[in-house]
Amino acid sequence: MASAFRTLIAALLLAAGLPALAQDALVVASTTSTEQSGLFSWLLPKFEAATGIRVRVVAVGTGQAIDIGRRGDADVLLVHDRAAEDKFVADGWGIARRDVMVNDFVVVGPRDDPAGVRSVRGAAQALQRIDAARQGFVSRGDKSGTHAAELRLWKEAGIDPKRSPGYKEAGAGMGPTLNLAAAINAYTVADRATWAAFKNRQQLDLVLAGDPALFNPYGVIPVNPARHPHVKKEAAERFAQWLTSPAGQEAIAAFRADGQPVFFPNAR
Amino acid sequence: MGHTLGEAFALLASLDSRLLQVVGLSLRVSLSALALGTLLGLPLGAWLAVSRFRGRGAAIVAINALMGLPSVVVGVLVYLLLSRSGPFGGFGLLFSPAAMVAAQTVLVVPLIAAVSRQIVEEAWRDYAPELSLIGLSRWQSAFLLLADCRFALSVATLAGLGRAMSEVGAVMIVGGNIDGYTRVMTTAIALETSKGDLALAIALGLVLMAVILALNAAAYGLRAWAGRRYG
Amino acid sequence: MFPLRIAGLAFAPNGKAVLDGVDLELSGEGITVVLGPNGAGKTVLLRLLAGLLPAGRGRLDWGGAALPSGRLAMVFQQPMVLRLSVWANVEFALRPQALSPAERRRRTARVLERVGLAERSRDSARLLSGGERQRLALARAWAVAPRLLLLDEPTASLDPGATEAVERIVREIRTDGAKILMTTHNLGQATRLADDIVFLAAGRVQEHGPANAFFARPQSAAARAYLQGELPWRLPFAR
């Protein structure tokens, strides 16, 4: 019986099939907005068909994506926090940041809009209205690109958000933040792509969009092989080139989330 | 809720290959971690049961406490170890199923060791005089009692399986939830929830529960059969 | 290791004397049966000899050597029966001995044959009856070819047939050259097996002598009372 027991364990090990150790695919660290909107599942098959390079996407907040790049755990970044991106390159962790596309942030909130955000044009004014009406506002609070953009808008509005009566930090990605806002029927700033693909809207509606201050540029940055010699520098470079090439830009322009375009190519 | 559930069942009816792939990876990762965790945890638990040394009490308390170790903490630790900038970075294991197996193994070992220590120690209490008179070494006694208690020890293994299959924090961090590569049932559920697609999240949750239920039923059946067969 | 001399052996856990100065000399042959009422300290004496309990006071002299390891075996009242095959339940006991695997197999097969469990060697030991379990325990003890075998009430809860089988095996083990020291409450068994009797009461040896002499003319009052208290049970029509 003891031998049968041993055989069982051996069989278990074989059946489980210890996963292969080698990693041969390009690792892209990117943001939840690009992954959750479905952009990557749209773009990657086209990129793989064009180049034969397999891609794996780790979708996290921009802050964490940049940290993953700094540690050398990804080969290339596709993120949206210009200030942090420039610092990443200036510190020598990344090379040659390139513009890829923009999407925009939107302000969403209760359908009956108790703060009256629909009647203003600028995002900063919208935040002032929400603050003045003592309405709820859910912040990402996770050091993501969206969080950084949100904080810039509060600064522009001249308000310290921590003192705003209805301000709450979710400390989570875009989706969970939208879930929270939907649950308590509060305002929040979301990227258009995630909002378009978001299904659990309940009473939430889009209340403001189109302010240039809400534009959200994405950049692609290969990780610097001088710092991390193991990175797949050719594959990373081809990824960056393809995204900014006519083929990549057209693919981005053709992407639809919930029937509408959400990313707009802007490579030069 | 009723509407969401209905939608969930409709999704289940249309089991597609991607869902099957996610389920398959979950099983592969968790069963691998369970196998490794069993190979490490059972001898560790049995050895603790039959050994007497200074600090044994502290070791048992530590192992028992580690049963409650949050999976995110394990995730971050394994992440730092396997990161290219960490001590084992050279293997390039981060964001791979192997990293997930490593993290779940770390989660499962203390659980299996703690439960098996308890079970084997009870047997040891009954048999210690005879075993010591026969002159078996600690390790010989430990392995003999493991063989003796093997059916009771299935509880330890099942507890480990439950912990591995249901945890999300560690695999999310070290696997990266990469579509088609490191996405397992729990991380897929977390992702679909954050996308607000609750129906899909619940459908996946139902699959996860069904899989865990099936594995437990199989283990129960095996144990009942063994009880009749081996007494 | 023989003659084994025991001098002033005492065991008093928590201040309560279980053995209170036992003096005994055992020769290297034959079957010595330890008799005595419940609580006399019979089991404790066996366990002290086996080295399973630390003696409080007194001396054990194993013919000038230390407690011999591997040459001493013990069968407990409730023997350990592992959830393994009958074969494995015997074979593991040979692991600590420096034997080749082939020799281990040979010895295991031989003792199982001699206790009548050869046909059942592949069965799970947990499915054995009480009598078969006791024979299994005897086989395990026999396998190591002990010089001294300690038996603690080996037939305590067995029917007459199973008891007879155990007694036959005990005799064979003695013939193989083992000194046997056993306890029992079965006086018939004692008369059938014993070469000499040690009568233990209140933590002391009251009598030690040849079995015939003990049963014919017990010297101590305690032994007479014990035998009289027990005899009516054995001979219900002898009142």
- Domain assignments of chain B as residue spans, ordered by start: 18-184
* Residue B134 at interface with chain C, using a CB cutoff of 8 Å: yes
Pairwise CA distance, residues A131 & A127, whole Å: 6
CB contact under 8 A, B136 and C73: no
> pLDDT at position A51, please?
94
C145 reaches A (C-beta below 8 A)? no
Alpha carbon distance A79, A59 (integer Å): 10
Average pLDDT, chain A: 89
| Backbone angles phi and psi of C77, in degrees to 5 | -60, -45
Which H or E element spans position C182?
A: strand C179-183
Chain A, chain C: beta-carbon pairs less than 8 Å apart: 6
H-helix or E-strand spanning residue A254: helix A246-254
Interchain pair C96, B131: CB under 8 A: no
Task: Give B36 to chain C, closest Cα distance, Å.
Answer: 24
pLDDT in tens, C147-204: 999 999 999 889 999 999 999 999 999 999 999 999 999 999 999 999 999 999 888 9
Among A7, A14, A18, which would you mutate to test the B interface (most chain B Cβ atoms within 10 Å of its Cβ)?
A: A18
Structure tokens that stand for C18 in this block: 């279980």
Locus of tokens 């009372």: C225
Comparing CA positions, the residue from B88, B91, B104 lying closest to residue B29 is: B104
- Where do the domains of chain C lie, and which CATH numbers do they carry? 4-78+148-234 (3.40.50.300)
Cβ neighbours of residue A59 closer than 8 Å, sequence gap 6 or more: A30, A31, A32, A34, A35, A36, A40, B176, B177
Query: What's the pLDDT score for residue A1?
Result: 46
Minimal CA separation from A12 to chain C, in Å: 22
Interface test with B, best of A35, A200, A224 (most B CBs within 10 A): A200
Q: CB B3: neighbour CB atoms within 10 A?
A: 9
Q: Which residues of B touch A257 (CB under 8 A)?
A: none
Chain A residue whose CA is closest to C86: A1
What value does the mean pLDDT take over residues B75-91?
Answer: 93
Q: pLDDT per residue over C61-99, tens digit each?
A: 877 676 677 789 999 988 999 999 999 999 999 999 889
Which chain A residue's Cα is nearest to B175?
A: A58
- Smallest Cβ–Cβ distance between B229 and the set C92, C96, C124 belongs to C124
CB atoms within 10 A of CB C12: 13
Quick check: C124 and A2 CB within 8 A? no
pLDDT band at B58 (very low <50, low <70, confident <90, very high): very high
Distance separating alpha carbons of residues C130 and C141, to the nearest angstrom: 17
| Helix, strand or coil, per DSSP, at residue A238 | helix
- Identity of residue B105: T
**pLDDT band, very low/low/confident/very high, at C221 (cuts 50, 70, 90):** confident
Angle at B50 between CA B48 and CA B53, to 5 degrees: 65
A159-182 average pLDDT score:
92
**Rounded to the nearest 10 degrees, what angle do helices A246-254 and A233-244 cross at?**
60
Range C150-161 burial, b when 16+ CB lie within 10 A, else e = bbbbbbeebeee
How far apart CA B201 and CA B190 sit, in angstroms, is 7
Q: Residue C155: phi, psi to the nearest 5? A: -120, 25
pLDDT in tens, B106-162: 999 999 999 999 999 999 999 999 998 998 999 999 999 999 999 889 888 998 999
The percent of residues above 70 in pLDDT, for chain B, comes to 95
Q: Which chains touch B (3 or more CB pairs under 8 A)?
A: A, C
Distance CA B132, CA C76 (A): 13
Third-level CATH fold of A8-102+216-265 = D-Maltodextrin-Binding Protein; domain 2 (3.40.190)
Contact assessment for residue C30 and residue C75, using Cβ atoms and an 8 Å cutoff = no
Mean predicted lDDT score pLDDT of chain C = 89
Mean pLDDT of B37-48: 96
Mutation for B interface: A199, A203, A204, most B CBs within 10 A: A199
What residue spans of chain B are helical by DSSP H? Answer: 2-13, 17-50, 56-66, 71-82, 97-134, 138-148, 154-166, 169-175, 185-194, 198-230
Q: Give B 154-183 residues with CB within 8 A of chain A.
A: 176-179, 181-182
How far is the C-alpha of A141 from the C-alpha of C172, rounded, in Å? 84
Cα of B115 to nearest chain C Cα, Å: 19
Q: Can A8-102+216-265 and A104-214 be said to share one CATH topology?
A: yes
Cβ atoms C6, C169 nearer than 8 A: no
Contacts of A51 (CB under 8 A, 6+ apart): A235, A238, A239, A242
Distances, alpha carbon A106 to alpha carbons A141, A181, B64, C165, C188, in Å: 17, 14, 49, 91, 99
Give B91's contacts (C-beta < 8 A, 6+ positions apart): A21, B82
Report the alpha-carbon distance of residue B39 to residue B61 in Å, rounded: 21
Q: How far is A113 from chain B (nearest CA, A)?
A: 22
Kindly compute the dihedral angle of the four CA atoms of residues C218, C222, C224, C229, in this order, to the nearest 10 degrees: -140
DSSP secondary structure, C130-147, as one string: HHHHHHHHHHHHHHT--S
Residue C161 CA to chain centroid, in angstroms?
19
What is the distance between the alpha carbons of residues A31 and A84, in angstroms, rounded to a whole number? Answer: 14
Query: What pTM did the predictor assign?
Result: 0.83
Nearest-CA distance A21 → chain B (Å): 6
Mutation choice for B interface testing from A6, A7, A21 by most B CBs within 10 A? A21
Choose from A1, A3, A6 for mutation: most chain C CBs within 10 A.
A1
- Span A104-214 CATH architecture: 3-Layer(aba) Sandwich (3.40)
Phi and psi at A101, nearest 5°, equal -165, 165
Three-state secondary structure call for residue A75: coil
Task: Say yes or no: B12 contacts chain A, CB-CB below 8 A.
Answer: no
Say yes or no to pLDDT of A13 above 60.
Answer: no
C89-144 tens-digit pLDDT:
999 999 998 899 999 999 999 999 999 999 999 999 999 999 999 999 999 999 99
To the nearest whole Å, the CA of A82 is away from the closest chain B CA by 24
Question: Would you identify the CATH topology of the domain B18-184?
Answer: MetI-like fold (1.10.3720)
Q: Is the pLDDT of residue A228 over 50?
A: yes
Separation CA A58–CA B99 (nearest Å): 14
Residues of A with Cβ-Cβ distance to B86 under 8 angstroms: 71
Contacts of B129 in chain C (CB under 8 A): 47, 50, 52, 76
Q: Per the omega criterion (within 30 degrees of 0), is the bond before C13 cis?
A: no
- Closest CB from B133, B144, B229 relative to C74: B133
Both structure tokens of C77: 């009242």
And the tokens for C21?
Answer: 């100065």
Q: Is-contact A15 B31, C-beta < 8 A?
A: yes
**What is the reported pLDDT for B192?**
87
- What distance in Å separates the CA atoms of residue C91 and residue C113, rounded to the nearest whole number? 13
Residues in A closer than 8 angstroms to C84, CB to CB, are 1-2
> Which of B135, B151, B230 has its CB closest to that of C96?
B135
- Smallest Cβ–Cβ distance between B148 and the set C50, C82, C127 belongs to C82
Q: How many other CB atoms are found less than 10 A from the CB of residue A6?
A: 11
Q: Smallest CA–CA separation between B149 and chain C, in Å?
A: 7
C51 neighbourhood in chain B, CB within 8 Å? 133
pLDDT at B171 over 80: yes
Q: How far is A167 from chain B (nearest CA, A)?
A: 21
A26-31 and A55-60 as β-strands: parallel, antiparallel, unpaired? parallel
Whether B230 sits inside 8 A of C74 (CB atoms) is: no
In this complex, how many residue pairs, one in chain A and one in chain B, have their CB atoms less than 8 Å apart?
A: 109
Residues in A closer than 8 angstroms to B94, CB to CB, are 73
| Chain A residues within 8 A of B177 when measuring between CB atoms | 58-59
Domain segments of chain A: what residues?
8-102+216-265, 104-214
Question: CB distance B144–C82 less than 8 Å?
Answer: yes
pLDDT at A16: 46
Name the residue among C82, C88, C95 with its Cβ closest to that of B140: C95
Joined together, the tokens standing for residue B71 give 């999976």
Q: Which of B:171-230 have CB within 8 Å of C?
A: 229-230
The candidate with the shortest Cα–Cα distance to B103, out of B68, B84, B76, is: B76
Q: Cα dihedral sign for C53, C59, C62, C64?
A: positive
Name residues whose C-beta falls within 8 Å of residue B50's C-beta, 6 or more positions apart in sequence: B120, B121, B124, B128, B138, B141, B142, B145
Hey, which residues 18-47 in chain B have their CB within 8 Å of chain A?
27-29, 31-32, 34-35, 38-39
